[in-house]
Structure 1
């Protein structure tokens, strides 16, 4: 069982995505905005993050930028979900981009692929040396300027 952090401000979408991820057998943590998502990620170190782009307080792009600043969080794969078109400029802030409306099959498939790639050759719930090293790096308790 892997832990997935779902960051989505619309309660109905969050509930549907949570059910889909739980159907795959994952433990799902939820957050309603980027600030809450970042703090949850820093405390719980999920195996994957699914985030909406447009949210109050801190959007999905801001969340991804903040995650990349901390070694313990930078290696967590991120799936960006949005009704907005994919930006023309290529970015390394997220690992996959899904355009809303997202079909259940598309979301499940992308999550499976990213988790399989991250934990390739590892036994379930075990870490590769690189993952373990990143997870041991401290995330400062005061992460905001």
Structure 2
């Protein structure tokens, strides 16, 4: 079953560093977006709502600290984990980065292997099903390793798209997902589908979830999209 892998935004002004980071993240199977300035990184974060941001402190015009502050103050992006990269290794700088909202801080020069481990640790919190974990919501259980879903102990028959859609919704119960964001996260940025496709598959998912008489856990947010729970 195809799984749309977590999307990571790399914001780094040094082209060589940016390419090395992107290469290693893609080698781990992640989808990567690249920004070379604070302004561009902030725009990409707001437009795409990636699963994680790897953010350099020293950026032209808008610093990484300011990008972090704005990402964390925006209701659309505040839940995105941020790993801050910096040549500033003093404790006071680490504290400032973390107090601004960064979820982790890595001093340059860093081990690529260690950084990949830190990326995985952050994603384990925010995209657990994509990393093989089990998700539970009331009587619904999604097994990220076997890709099986049960409700009240009965296995549900879901197509691959419905499974990915349910996984995305269950990973963040209560979050409102605009249709455009679901398209990016569930179908992928290169998919040639429109927002009506989301409605069709949400309808199929609802039918599967309520086939045995259970309540519908998916809420329609008029004019926007959907939320789970």
More strand by share: 2
* Structure 2 partner of 1:133: 175
Work out whether residues 119 and 127 of structure 1, in 8 Å CA contact, stay in contact via their aligned partners in 2. Answer: no
* Structure 2 partner of 1:68: 72
- Measure the CA separation in 2 of the matches of 1:134 and 1:61: 27
Q: How has the CA–CA distance of structure 1 residues 16 and 129 changed in structure 2, closer, same or farther, with 3 Å as cutoff?
A: closer
Alignment of 1:83 onto 2:125? no
Alignment of 1:106 onto 2:151? no
Alignment of 1:49 onto 2:23? no
The gaps in structure 2 that reach 5 residues or longer are 129-133, 136-143, 145-163, 179-229
For the aligned residues, what is the CA RMSD?
Answer: 1.9
Work out whether residues 65 and 100 of structure 2, in 8 Å CA contact, stay in contact via their aligned partners in 1. Answer: no
* Structure 2 partner of 1:33: 37
- Measure the CA separation in 2 of the matches of 1:56 and 1:135: 32
- Measure the CA separation in 2 of the matches of 1:108 and 1:101: 14
Q: Equivalent residue of 2:13, what SS?
A: coil
Structure having the higher Rg: 2
Q: Give the aligned length.
A: 136
The gaps in structure 1 that reach 5 residues or longer are 137-145
TM-score computed with the length of structure 2 as normaliser: 0.55
1:117 Cα deviation after fit: 1.3
- Measure the CA separation in 2 of the matches of 1:39 and 1:131: 25
1:130 Cα deviation after fit: 3.9
- Report runs of 4+ in structure 1 exceeding 6 Å deviation: none
TM-score computed with the length of structure 1 as normaliser: 0.85
- Measure the CA separation in 2 of the matches of 1:134 and 1:59: 29
1:104 Cα deviation after fit: 1.2
- Measure the CA separation in 2 of the matches of 1:19 and 1:132: 34
- Measure the CA separation in 2 of the matches of 1:132 and 1:49: 22
More relative contact order, 1 or 2 (CA 8 Å, 6+ apart):
1
1:134 Cα deviation after fit: 5.3
Q: How has the CA–CA distance of structure 1 residues 27 and 131 changed in structure 2, closer, same or farther, with 3 Å as cutoff?
A: farther
Deviation string, structure 1 residues 41-69 (Cα, Å, up to 9, x no partner): 11111000001000101111000111112
Work out whether residues 45 and 135 of structure 1, in 8 Å CA contact, stay in contact via their aligned partners in 2. Answer: no
